[in-house]
C-alpha cells in the first residue's frame, strides 16, 4: 500500500515536471524569431498610392529603401487678397491628381530584441523604426503642379499580417518643396505591403 502511494506521487511529480518543461519548450518556439532584419521586395498599397519598394538590409537593424509608383496628390491653394477698402477676399482651389513618384530612405529598427523578449513576431521586419524619407512627385504634363519633393524624418512601425503581407504606419514633420514655395507640416504613410 505504501509503495503504490509513492508510485502515484512519483508519477504525478513526473507528469508535473513534464508539463512544465513542455510548456517552456513551446514558449521558446514562440520566441524563436529573427533578431535581425531581412531584405524585402514589396508592392505597396497606401491610402493614395501604389508602387514597388525594395528594402535592402545594410546592417543588423538598418535598411535603405527605394521605390517608384503612382502617388495621389491633393493640391490645396488659398489666395487671399485685400483691396484698397480693406475688404478681404479669399478663394480656394483644390485638385486631386495621380502622378508618378520615386522615393528613397533609411530605417533603423530599434525594438526587435524587446519584441522577442515579449514573445512578439519580428518576421518580415515587424517592429518600430526611426528613419528619413525623401519622395519626389513629378507632373507628366504642363500643368501648374510641376514637381514636389517631400523630406520627412519619421517614426513608424510595420507588423506582419501573415507570411506575405505587412501593415505600415509612419509619421513625422515634413517639408514639401515645389516650384512655388516650401510648406511645412506633418506627413505620414498608412498602408499595406505585399511581399514578393
Burial of 63 (0-12, 13-18, 19+ CB in 10 A): buried
Model confidence band, residue 66 (pLDDT cutoffs 50, 70, 90): very high
* CATH 2.40.160 is right for the domain spanning 36-195: yes
Confidence of residue 185 (pLDDT cuts 50, 70, 90): confident
Percent of the chain predicted with pLDDT > 70 = 80
Cβ atoms within 10 Å, residue 179 = 10
pLDDT band for position 109 (50/70/90)?
A: very high
Work out the mean pLDDT of the chain and round it to a whole number.
Answer: 83
Task: Tell me the mean pLDDT in the region 140-166.
Answer: 87
pLDDT band at 30 (very low <50, low <70, confident <90, very high): low
Q: Is a pLDDT exceeding 50 seen at residue 2?
A: no
| 8 Å CB contact between 127 and 114 | no
Check pLDDT > 60 for residue 86.
yes
- Mention every residue, 6+ apart, whose C-beta is less than 8 A from residue 169: 156, 157, 158, 188, 189, 190
Q: What is the CA radius of gyration of the chain?
A: 27
The structure's pTM equals: 0.72
List the grid coordinates of 49: 498610392
What helix, strand, coil percent values describe the chain, rounded to 5?
A: 20, 60, 20
Closest CA to 97 of 152, 66, 137, 136: 137
Decide if pLDDT at 173 tops 90: yes
Band of pLDDT at residue 80, cut at 50, 70 and 90 = confident
Straight-line distance from the first to the last Cα atom of the chain, in angstroms, rounded to the nearest whole number: 67
Q: Are 181 and 159 in contact (CB under 8 A)?
A: no
Three-state DSSP at 166 gives strand
Residue 174 confidence (pLDDT) above 90? yes
156 touches 123 (CB < 8 A): no
Q: Where are the domains of the chain?
A: 1-32, 36-195
Closest by CA to 71, choosing from 145, 168, 124, 126, is 145
Which is more confidently placed, 147 or 151?
151
Cα–Cα dist 134/102, whole Å: 8
Torsion angle in degrees (nearest 10) through CA of 193, 39, 53, 134: 110
What is the tens place of the pLDDT at every residue in 162-172? 899 999 999 99
pLDDT at 91: 84
Q: Work out the pLDDT band at 24, boundaries 50, 70, 90.
A: very low
Q: Which residues contact 79 (CB under 8 A, 6 or more apart)?
A: 90, 91, 92, 93
Per-residue pLDDT band at 115 (split at 50, 70, 90): very high
What percent of the chain is predicted at pLDDT more than 90?
A: 50
Q: Among 122, 165, 119, 137, which residue's Cα sits nearest to residue 26?
A: 119
Amino acid at each position: 500500500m505504501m509503495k503504490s502511494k509513492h508510485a502515484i506521487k512519483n508519477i504525478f511529480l513526473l507528469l508535473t515536471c513534464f508539463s512544465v518543461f513542455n510548456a517552456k519548450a513551446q514558449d521558446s518556439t514562440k520566441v524563436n524569431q529573427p533578431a535581425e532584419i531581412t531584405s524585402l521586395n514589396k508592392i505597396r498599397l497606401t491610402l493614395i498610392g501604389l508602387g514597388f519598394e525594395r528594402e535592402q538590409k545594410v546592417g543588423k537593424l538598418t535598411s535603405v529603401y527605394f521605390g517608384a509608383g503612382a502617388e495621389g496628390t491633393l493640391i490645396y491653394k488659398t489666395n487671399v487678397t485685400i483691396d484698397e477698402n480693406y475688404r478681404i477676399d479669399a478663394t480656394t482651389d483644390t485638385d486631386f491628381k495621380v502622378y508618378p513618384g520615386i522615393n528613397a530612405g533609411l530605417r533603423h529598427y530599434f525594438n526587435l530584441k524587446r519584441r522577442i523578449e515579449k514573445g512578439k513576431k519580428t518576421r518580415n521586419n515587424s517592429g518600430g523604426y526611426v528613419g528619413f524619407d525623401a519622395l519626389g512627385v513629378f507632373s507628366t504634363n504642363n500643368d501648374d503642379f510641376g514637381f514636389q519633393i517631400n523630406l520627412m524624418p519619421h517614426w513608424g512601425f510595420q507588423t506582419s499580417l501573415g507570411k506575405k503581407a505587412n501593415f505600415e504606419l509612419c509619421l513625422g514633420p515634413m517639408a514639401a518643396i515645389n516650384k512655388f514655395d516650401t510648406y511645412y507640416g506633418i506627413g505620414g504613410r498608412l498602408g499595406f505591403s505585399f511581399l514578393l
